[in-house]
Amino acid sequence: SVILFWFRRDLRLEDNAGLYHALKNALAAGLTVQPLFIFDTTILDALVDKADKRVVFIHQAIERLHAELAELGATLDVRHGVPLNIFAELLNEYDVKGVYANRDYEPDARARDKVVYEYLNEQGIAFRAFKDHVIFEKNEVMKADDSPYTVFTPYSRKWLSQLDDFYVRAYPTRVYLDGFYQQEKRVIPSMGQLGFEPMTVEFPSEELDFGALDAYAEQRDYPALPATSRLGVHLRFGTVSIRQVAAHTRARSAVFLSELIWRDFYQMILWHHPQVVTQSFKPMYDQILWRNQSSEFAQWCAGQTGYPLVDAGMRELNETGFMHNRVRMVVASFLTKHLLIDWRWGERYFAQKLLDYDLAANNGGWQWAAGCGCDAAPYFRVFNPTLQMEKFDPKNEYVRRWVPEFETAAYPEPMVEHRMARERCLQVYSTALKT
């Protein structure tokens, strides 16, 4: 008899909350733990790019977990299909006494888990989920009247006041690592079998001790410098633990810790306000008459706007799946305010391209830039992409790296004049907000 542990956004053995509880409770009940991963066709079939680097990332992480478990005499059972159908198969193959996982706060994941929960419940099997992805979740950081925050600064103050060693302590999973169900190694579906191109991709390291942490506060806004952690993709898929990152960085950089608080903040917002997936947090902003010119959108996507910092960002994104935070803010502001294209278009494009794509943070970032978010930039603050470049890429190093032709005749003129675009934006926004 086994407890199934279902890996999702937590692709590691070390310091994994749900896995720890599964192993510990299995030991107490005289059971073992069978680890499971499902390549979910509902998600994979919706990906248009069959050379998606994120699938490569997950596949590599699964191969690594599989090898680590094999050393323990266990096997990661890797399936490919719709979770509900897979669970029906698994219940025939194993004597399942319980299913454990870590919580996922996205609306689609919540809907998926509900269906699985109900199915298991009908069979008399408990499905238990744990907090692992964030430091504080949904209702853990609340206002004095027990309502959720919608403004970051007071949320962050409360978050910090609640943080103590307990919340960043690692779950000592390793103590129980002999508690897995022992069985012959099974085969993992190949990238080809999943319908994706096998590729070699170099991913950012999961090294926590990134050299620049001490200089993070001064340097993090300069895209030419390797000053940020690049941990986004690892935090997204749980190949590093958020507790470890927070424990390691908390005493060394308050500014870095604050970014981790933003991460919790947006997850909390998504939990309490799942409508933000399709709607502006501030409903008035859905009255904006977006221009939504497809040809202009295509220029923005391709990095051909004639604004070097915008173009550098978009080309970096297209080529590597990464874009620096400062540049994300600038390109998002440019799309929504200079071109008056609906933030949802840009959000969707980022969702297809970003290695560290995360619904909560991406939606939060886009709504912030468009001005319609919970704690957004005021709508009349329109970034000047030229001044942003002068300030944050003063030697043009970043821009030259991605737009080598920018000082030559081959480089296009700005697709829209800044002052005109700014005026147009203010007019369109203020009209929408007045009605």
CB of 236 to ligand FAD, least distance (A): 6
Q: How far is CA 302 from CA 123, 153, 239, 366, 404, in A?
A: 51, 36, 31, 19, 15
CB of 208 to ligand FAD, least distance (A): 11
Residue of 16, 25, 159, 262 marked active site: 262
Is 150 or 228 the residue whose CB approaches ligand FAD more closely? 228
Is 217 or 426 the residue whose CB approaches ligand FAD more closely? 217
261 is in an annotated binding site: yes
CB of 38 to ligand FAD, least distance (A): 23
Buried b (16+ CB within 10 A) or exposed e, 219-252: ebbbbbbebbbbbbbbbbbbbbbbbbbbbebbee
Interface residue list for ligand FAD (CB under 6 A): 220, 228-232, 235, 259-260, 262-263, 266, 325, 328-329, 332, 350, 354, 356-358, 361-362, 364-366, 369
Is 7 or 350 the residue whose CB approaches ligand FAD more closely? 350
Rounded Cα gap, residues 162 and 19, in angstroms: 25
Helix (H, G, I), strand (E, B) or coil at 79: strand
Verify whether residue 259 is a known catalytic residue: yes
Residue of 137, 140, 325, 396 marked active site: 325
Residue of 6, 159, 300, 343 marked active site: 343
Name the residue with tokens 């169900």. 181
Rounded Cα gap, residues 32 and 381, in angstroms: 57
Closest residue to ligand FAD, Cβ-based?
365
Measured from the Cβ of residue 196, the count of other Cβ atoms closer than 10 Å reads: 21
Is 265 or 406 the residue whose CB approaches ligand FAD more closely? 265
CB of 377 to ligand FAD, least distance (A): 10
177 is in an annotated binding site: no
Verify whether residue 300 is a known catalytic residue: no
CB of 141 to ligand FAD, least distance (A): 15
Verify whether residue 262 is a known catalytic residue: yes
106 is in an annotated binding site: no
Which tokens in the block code for residue 130? 């744990």
Helix (H, G, I), strand (E, B) or coil at 194: coil
Sheet bearing 2-7, strands edge to edge: 77-81, 32-40, 2-7, 96-102, 126-130
Rounded Cα gap, residues 427 and 139, in angstroms: 39
Rounded Cα gap, residues 190 and 206, in angstroms: 24
Verify whether residue 6 is a known catalytic residue: no
Is 148 or 195 the residue whose CB approaches ligand FAD more closely? 148
Residue 15 near residue 173, CB atoms below 8 Å: yes
Residue 105 near residue 274, CB atoms below 8 Å: no
256 is in an annotated binding site: yes
Residue 97 near residue 31, CB atoms below 8 Å: yes
76 is in an annotated binding site: no
Rounded Cα gap, residues 184 and 66, in angstroms: 12
Verify whether residue 343 is a known catalytic residue: yes
CB of 257 to ligand FAD, least distance (A): 9
Residue of 14, 68, 206, 290 marked active site: 290
Is 149 or 181 the residue whose CB approaches ligand FAD more closely? 149
358 is in an annotated binding site: yes
Q: What is the CA radius of gyration of the chain?
A: 23
368 is in an annotated binding site: no
Binding residues for FAD: 216, 256, 259-266, 356-358
Q: Catalytic positions, please?
A: 259, 262, 290, 325, 343, 366
Binding residues: 216, 256, 259-266, 356-358
